[in-house]
Structure 1
Amino acid sequence: MASLPRIVRTAHRGGALEVPENSMSGLMAAYESGTAHVIDFDTRILRDGTMVVMHDPTLDRTTFTGGPVRGLGLRDWQGVRLRPEASLPGNWRAERPPTVAEVLDRFGGRIVLMLEAKDPKSLRALAAMIKERGLARSVLVNSNRPAVALHAHRMGLTAQLWRSARQMRTDRPERWARFVDVLDVDYKARASDLVRAVRSGIPRVWAHTVVTPAQRDRALALGCDGIITDAPALMARHPVEPQVEAQLRAARLQ
């Protein structure tokens, strides 16, 4: 985390408008392209306790099969194949979604990782996997629940908390400053809510899920110091607007 730049670009699920989301090939493409400083993925738990990479609670949307993820064991998981979206650029093969261990072993220590614990009860297992690999300061553990972020912090993990625009209307983020390392805010939130998050005392505030340069520039202009994006390559190709860059330079000098 300490090596991250002033403005951080995170590839959401690897960059879901550019690669098959949560796939090993997609995560690898985001890493090898150098368009992201952080790679994000989602985690769920199988019935036998195996931690796997998948956003939805079911296989219906992103694979050639269906049914609940929690109903599978590791042997069943070996037969699951991701279904790449036809709208994605390039040619992508059907592949098995990875396990969390495979992602940690492939990228751990090479780039900062962000994992969203979709099953809060899996936090203890995730903590063990992260700590035994010495990755507690380079893997962000993300959740929408402040209580989960607090639990992650108490377990010695790097805690991230994401909040929707609706939640941000009544949030008091300064209450979380002692245990949240990154606050992940909805770029669609009101300007006043984004500014309140930026001024909360939480070390880093990143905006999700950005898909256009204009969305990025608004979040940065309001004080966010990073974005989470489905299009990291697009963001890398389009520099920040000059007036926003000037604001950022001025802020750094203060």
Structure 2
Amino acid sequence: MASTGLAAVASVISLTLTGHGAAHPLEWGSGPLTVDALPRVPYAAHRGGAREVPENSMAGLAAAYRRGTAQVLDFDTRLLRDGTPVVFHDATLNRTTFLGGAVSGLDAKEWRGVRLRPRDALPGSWRSERPPTVAEVLDRFGGRTVLMLEAKDPRGLGRLAALIRERGLTRSVFVNTNDPEVARRVHALGLLTQLWRSARQLRTDRPEQWRPHVDLLDVDIRARDADVRRAVRSGIPRVWAHTIVTPAQRDRALALGCNGVITDAPGRLFRHPARVPGRVSAVLGR
């Protein structure tokens, strides 16, 4: 399918720029790539695409960026003892590294000694590496593609906001949370607000109440059809579905009206064009 509109073309162009050599990929004119350049139905690589790459790793994010099968890179953030924001999902090191204990118990110097443990089930060959800091990810990918970061520790919102502002990325980074009150704080800081909700939460949510301060509502693909449709009708401009791993899940989300896909398997979805009656294919280049 041919790309529709200059914004989609700009997004595709940005995805061809890889490595550290391309200092400031542009849209049409000047400045970093922003959400305004996203295609009609963007794909977000959840934790970099956790079924295809080591989650929340620099190598994994770089691979997802190079492959160009997602237009948004998603990662999680936590806070170290000294206030340094780092890229990590769990509260403890045990599941994804060779160490144990609380992430919040380490400082920046100690963090340099942490090494990720890639899962054996991942395709390809991956080396152990240090989990990056948020600043490192923003410096490498900020302005080259749209980013999505989850603030696992709301105490770090001020620091995250400063890192985003210092780099001129307030229109290039979604800040994600499951807490509607934290979402209000994100909005008050002048950042793009993403609110994710579980299937259980969506049963009783009234998403229209969040319209003034939520830029992206992130809904659980396991939710009932009626609950997803209610979210789509909320007036929030972007309603994306998580965490999608199969083409059938993707097609259901699009059929229910979602206009974005958050996936652990962007490569797999790219290889299977969307088949949604009455809807244009959501796969770039198809």
Partner of 1:193 in structure 2? 227
Partner of 1:54 in structure 2? 88
Shift, 1:60, TM fit: 0.2
List per-residue Cα deviations over 1:88-118 (Å, max 9, x = no partner).
Answer: 0000000000000000000000000000000
Match among 260, 268, 278 for residue 246 of structure 1: 278
State the TM-score, normalizing by the size of structure 2.
Answer: 0.85
Shift, 1:240, TM fit: 0.3
Distance 2:265 2:279 in 1: 24
Match among 21, 26, 29 for residue 63 of structure 2: 29
Distance 2:96 2:176 in 1: 21
Partner of 1:108 in structure 2? 142
Distance 2:247 2:229 in 1: 19
Shift, 1:248, TM fit: 4.5
Match among 110, 115, 124 for residue 81 of structure 1: 115
**2:57 counterpart of 1:18:** no
Match among 45, 50, 55 for residue 79 of structure 2: 45
Distance 1:52 1:15 in 2: 18
Distance 1:9 1:121 in 2: 29
Q: Would you say how many aligned residue pairs link Structure 1 and Structure 2? A: 247
Shift, 1:246, TM fit: 2.6
Segments of 5+ residues of structure 1 without an aligned counterpart are 250-254
AA paired with 2:151? A
List per-residue Cα deviations over 1:120-173 (Å, max 9, x = no partner).
Answer: 111011000000100000000000001111111111000000000000000000
Q: Secondary structure at the match of 1:159?
A: strand
State the TM-score, normalizing by the size of structure 1.
Answer: 0.96
Equivalent runs, 1:77-226 vs 2, <5 Å: 77-226=111-260
Q: Which runs of structure 1 show a deviation greater than 6 angstroms over 4 or more consecutive aligned residues? A: none
Q: Secondary structure at the match of 1:247?
A: coil
AA paired with 2:96? T
List per-residue Cα deviations over 1:17-53 (Å, max 9, x = no partner).
Answer: 0000000000000000001010000000000111100
* % identical equivalent positions: 69
List per-residue Cα deviations over 1:199-249 (Å, max 9, x = no partner).
Answer: 0000100000000000000000000001100000001111001xx153348
Partner of 1:252 in structure 2? none
**2:262 counterpart of 1:228:** yes
Segments of 5+ residues of structure 2 without an aligned counterpart are 1-34, 282-286
AA paired with 2:258? C
List per-residue Cα deviations over 1:178-211 (Å, max 9, x = no partner).
Answer: 1000000000100000000000000100000000
- Indicate if the aligned counterparts of 1:221 and 1:248 stay in contact, CA closer than 8 A: no
Distance 1:146 1:218 in 2: 26
- Indicate if the aligned counterparts of 1:59 and 1:67 stay in contact, CA closer than 8 A: yes
Distance 1:226 1:40 in 2: 13
Shift, 1:8, TM fit: 1.0
